[in-house]
Amino acid sequence: MESQDEQPRSLAQVRAPASSANLGPGFDVLAVALDLPLVVRAVPRDGSRVVAAGEGADEVPDDDSNMVWRGVRAFCDVFASEVPDVTLHCQNSIPLERGLGSSAAAVVAGLVLGRTITGAPVADQDLIDLAAQLEGHADNAAAAVLGGLVVAGPTGSARRFEPTRGLRPIVCIPTDRLATSTARGLLPTNVPLEMLVTTMRRTALVLAGLAGMSAWDPTAMTDDVHEPPRLDVMKGSKELVQAARDAGYGACLSGAGPTVLVLAEPDDSAVVDRLRTVVDDGWRIEPVRWDRAGARGQDSTSAAS
């Protein structure tokens, strides 16, 4: 491991959070940022384009096809800035293909890094729009850029809300994976009107409860549209979601799954042990925090001050 003195001089650094989308009924609308970060340092080019560590380090490309670097390139191409010749040192805490927004975090990290290095005055909403074009998920992109609880609007605009301090998120991460493209193929093509109305009602209650605008109703965090077909092919996730709901917790698939998001009161010390009795040893059950800050960059000047 490099010592602090041996590390290349950092030109800029960015931290982008994981995100959990849908939150039950809010399919492609609701998402929240979670304190599982991807941290990227840009240093003068010193060999490979990308040096990766942490989750998925042996899987992500180290050349110009890397998603973080593609974000940097896209920022410079769209906003007419010179592409910096740098190496990206990535330290990742977000499991890949588990429904925690790893791809959105990578793209957003690259875009914010591009903005930080070039100093271009680009608004957060412009970053969200570009991230959604590159990666395809406006809800995850908005949560990664803005932090907190977000609503992805119909025209791509995002609205941020402050998550309640009365709930603590717990991520339940299996070793199994599911590509988002595969999970999308499981979705129904037609939804009955009555089911649509029920989904809208639940989405409003989840938003109000998570934003602290009304009392939290864990039964609202259920879905009849995208979750049932997905859970049918995720046996462990299905059992865990049902057990958590039976115990009175809000629970849902995180994004397309197979990770399960459970919400509990901050002083509930028994929830993790309860959840562990349901799953095998391959699951990682971890209380985390809301990420309230979103992706943020720091250049070498501010780092030294």
Give the end of a domain, one of 136, 162, 188.
162
Q: Provide the domain limits for residue 85.
A: 12-162
Spatial CB neighbours of 46, under 8 Å, sequence gap ≥ 6: 8, 87
Q: How far apart, in whole angstroms, are the C-alpha atoms of residue 288 and residue 291? A: 9
Question: 302 falls in which pLDDT band (50, 70, 90)?
Answer: low
For residue 302, being part of any structural domain is answered with no
37/141 same-domain check: yes
- N-to-C CA span, the chain: 26
Please give the model's pTM, rounded to 2 decimal places: 0.92
> Pseudo-torsion of CA 59, 278, 208, 227, nearest 10°?
60
Q: Mean pLDDT score of the chain, rounded to an integer? A: 93
For residue 7, being part of any structural domain is answered with no
CATH code, 203: 3.30.70.890
95/110 same-domain check: yes
Q: pLDDT tens-digit profile of 60-72?
A: 999 999 999 999 9
Mean pLDDT of 249-277: 96
Which of 136, 95, 128 has its CA nearest to residue 260? 95
Q: What confidence score (pLDDT) does residue 198 get?
A: 96
Spatial CB neighbours of 274, under 8 Å, sequence gap ≥ 6: 243, 247
Q: What confidence score (pLDDT) does residue 161 get?
A: 98
Which of 72, 67, 84 has its CA nearest to residue 110? 72
Q: pLDDT tens-digit profile of 212-224?
A: 999 999 999 999 9
Q: pLDDT tens-digit profile of 197-206?
A: 999 999 999 9
Within the chain, residue ranges assigned H as helices are: 67-78, 102-118, 124-135, 138-146, 180-184, 193-210, 227-231, 235-246, 271-276, 300-304
Give the end of a domain, one of 162, 179, 196.
162
Q: What confidence score (pLDDT) does residue 9 get?
A: 79
Better-scored residue on pLDDT, 209 or 185: 209
Instruction: Tell the residue number behind the tokens 């929240």, with chain if given.
Output: 32
151/216 same-domain check: no
For residue 303, being part of any structural domain is answered with no
Mean pLDDT of 121-146: 95
127/59 same-domain check: yes
154/276 same-domain check: no
For residue 246, being part of any structural domain is answered with yes
77/17 same-domain check: yes
Q: pLDDT tens-digit profile of 80-122?
A: 889 999 999 999 999 999 999 999 999 999 999 999 999 999 9
91/198 same-domain check: no
For residue 294, being part of any structural domain is answered with no
For residue 298, being part of any structural domain is answered with no
* Overall number of domains in the chain: 2
191/109 same-domain check: no
90/138 same-domain check: yes
95/224 same-domain check: no
Which of 211, 159, 184 has its CA nearest to residue 23? 211
173/136 same-domain check: no
Q: Are strands 158-161 and 149-152 parallel, antiparallel or unpaired?
A: antiparallel
Better-scored residue on pLDDT, 301 or 144: 144
Phi, psi of 231 (to 5 degrees): -65, -25
87/138 same-domain check: yes
Q: pLDDT tens-digit profile of 166-192?
A: 999 999 999 988 776 676 777 878 889
Residue 42, token pair as written in the block: 């840009």
CA distances from 21 to 3, 96, 221, 230, 267 (A): 38, 15, 12, 14, 25
CATH code, 114: 3.30.230.10
For residue 300, being part of any structural domain is answered with no
Give the end of a domain, one of 119, 143, 162.
162
Q: What confidence score (pLDDT) does residue 1 get?
A: 41
Q: How far apart, in whole angstroms, are the C-alpha atoms of residue 237 and residue 32? A: 20
Question: 154 falls in which pLDDT band (50, 70, 90)?
Answer: confident
Q: What angle do CA 32, 34, 36 make, to 5 degrees?
A: 150
